[in-house]
Amino acid sequence: MIPKKNIRELKLEELIDFLKNQNIPSYRAKQIHEWLWKKRAINFNEMTSLSLPLRELLEQNFSLNAVKIHKAERSNDGTIKYSLKLYDNKLVEGVLIPSKKRLTACISSQVGCSLSCTFCATGTLKLERNLNYAEIYDQIFILNEEALLNFGKPLSNIVYMGMGEPLLNYENLLKSIDLVSSKTGLSMSPKRITVSTAGIAKMIKKLADDDVRFNLAISLHTSDDKKREEIMPINKSINLEELKESIKYFFEKTGTRITYEYILFKDINDSLDDAHELVKFCKSTPCKVNLIEYNSVDNIPFQKASNNKTEKFINFLNEKNVIVNLRRSKGKDINAACGQLVNKLK
């Protein structure tokens, strides 16, 4: 039996051609398209503005592989972690993070991850597959609905900081952002979207060449090559100098200020010497630094830097005129904080 084609992989023009071959008016394609993306129908029977024979025709010819909530868990601080089931029963996690000024969705781009960062729970998983752009979009749509349901307001921001390396799923990444920011989708400004990467230099340059308008964050965590190789194996093939060159290229082409993510680990990257190296790295382009509290993960031996060292680190960066923010962890009690996503909600 030949598997049905996923209707959401069809371009609007392809859908129009299919309907024409069935002697169905082309305006129906726009109605179907709206049901797929604006209303996000999860089955063809939900498309109630279409006739029953048309719905049956779609059911006979296409699949509709919608993402669905598998489980949800709420933190004491209001953060909600979702286990989301894909059409093939694989699971990814997404997180809804409330704060005073923002309501942020942290979403995944891959099932698992191939980069094996030693401090990250997701890095203990193998990479199973990329998410397609519709699955990425579904996560955002679902978390937006959950934001309205739980907090009475829509998402203000989206961060591609969940499971996986977004730039290793490049085409689906860009398609999902195009859809989210289009009138067909959620009409969200790209400036409210941040993509986080461990530093795939050639793909950072490709982002620049493609003139993207979303924000870029680099998971840096140390400005010392030897230390970075130990905690982020990707640095063995893409060192800091190559990464810096790609960041310069990105800024020169887009004019967008980079954000560096820097988790402070006890006795690894939290000294004033480390802060000095970070300042030197930051001088290459306009940037800001998000210092992140380390969140403990079972069977991973890293520890959070002390409050005293954290304060000294921040003060040093401030004295050197580097914009720095300390990101307090949210959702730690449900393993929803940065670096803790490992599909425990099964």
Annotated catalytic residues are: 93, 338
143 with 180: CB under 8 angstroms?
no
Q: Among 45, 44, 49, 94, which Cα is nearest to 68's?
A: 94
Q: How far apart are CA 111 and CA 109, in angstroms?
A: 7
Task: Render the burial of 244-265: b for 16+ CB within 10 Å, e for the rest.
Answer: bebbbbbbeebebebbbbbbbb
109 with 164: CB under 8 angstroms?
yes
Q: What ranges in the chain are assigned the alpha helix state H?
A: 12-21, 27-37, 52-61, 133-151, 170-180, 201-209, 225-231, 240-254, 272-282, 307-319
Task: Render the burial of 38-48: b for 16+ CB within 10 Å, e for the rest.
Answer: eebbeebeebe
User: And the tokens for 110?
Assistant: 């891959």
Q: Among 173, 163, 82, which Cα is nearest to 128's?
A: 163
Collapsing DSSP to helix, strand or coil, 128 comes out as coil
Q: Among 340, 314, 316, which Cα is nearest to 326's?
A: 314
Q: Using the 8-state DSSP alphabet, how is residue 3 labeled?
A: P
Q: Among 107, 67, 111, which Cα is nearest to 85's?
A: 67
Q: How far apart are CA 10 and CA 47, in angstroms?
A: 17
256 with 216: CB under 8 angstroms?
yes
Residues in the chain, total: 346
Q: Which helix (H) or strand (E) holds 217?
A: strand 215-219
